[in-house]
Structure 1
Amino acid sequence: MKYEKENHSKFLLMYHIIFVCKYRKKLLQPIDQELKDLIYLISESSDFEIVEMETDKDHIHLLVKSKPKISVLSIVRKLKQLTTYRLWKTQKQYLKQYYRKENTLWSEGYFACTIGNVSRETLEIYMLSQG
């Protein structure tokens, strides 16, 4: 059986990803626009696309479209590491109020599930109602 090269393949991989502030600290609302801008910026130089995104007080929902060669874990790692690093550069005084002993932002875990194209609109409505 002969497999097609990826550039000839057809795929639609979309993930609903959620990650949470460490210790469930409710700190995102004042910095949510900067966080969203950072995530869009990161995705522009990556192999994944942010389709939709919304924050709540202590977590963020992402609808991500990616290529099959990119793992969900690599997407989450990249987003968590770079947003933590960059937000600590611009929001140090604010974040120190919540994390006195460590430059952290996100908990270790995350939630991810694949979504079918049929339920995309439903998920987007749900995500937009967060916060």
Structure 2
Amino acid sequence: MYFLVNMKYETRNHRKFLLMYHVIFVCKYRKVILEPISEELKQIMIDISKESNFEILEMETDKDHIHFLIKSEPKVSVLSIVRKLKQESTNRLWKNLEKYYWGENTLWSDGYFASTIGNVSKEAAEYYIRNQG
């Protein structure tokens, strides 16, 4: 395992922090549908993060799931990030998804995986995410 080395801490008012999360979403019913919409999905996720208070440092899709490396402030919960990304990406992609989900207005399964990457370097997490699929 790699250890945090030369990681730059964020400083705001009276706090100093470095919060990064490895997050995974899985398609509802494990449907294999992400390959044809992969680039559009990634751009949508980046756009959502730019409009929000978190940053996507790395992202990669596989056939039925997507991995993220996300950086945020302590005041932003992982749950709020997950909700925002899932809801907005589903809404923005819905016209491409209707044929897969028969009017269900869904893309992602109910759950998600999230883990802090405090015990590995950012580079190790990036490498893992890049080499999915």
Q: TM-score, normalised by structure 1?
A: 0.88
Aligned to 1:70: 76
Q: Which amino acid in the other structure matches residue 68 of structure 1?
A: P
In structure 2, how many angstroms separate the alpha carbons of the residues matched to 1:33 and 1:102? 23
Deviating 4+ runs (over 6 angstroms): none
Calculate the aligned-residue CA RMSD, in Å: 1.5
1:82-97 equivalent positions in 2, closer than 5 A: 82-88=88-94, 92=95, 94-97=96-99
Give secondary structure in 2 for the equivalent of 1:62.
Answer: strand
Structure 1 segments unaligned to the other structure (5+ residues): none
1:52 alignment partner, one of 42, 58, 76: 58
Aligned to 2:48: 42
Give secondary structure in 2 for the equivalent of 1:10.
Answer: strand
Q: Which amino acid in the other structure matches residue 83 of structure 1?
A: S
Deviations 1:103-124 (A, max 9, x none): 1100000000000274221111
Q: How many residues align?
A: 123
Aligned to 1:119: 121
Q: TM-score, normalised by structure 2?
A: 0.87
Q: What is the Cα deviation at residue 9 of structure 1?
A: 1.4
Identity of aligned residues (%): 68
Aligned to 2:106: 104
In structure 2, how many angstroms separate the alpha carbons of the residues matched to 1:118 and 1:25? 31
Instruction: Return the structure number with greater helix share.
Output: 1
2:130 alignment partner, one of 102, 120, 128: 128
Aligned to 1:26: 32
Structure 2 segments unaligned to the other structure (5+ residues): 1-10
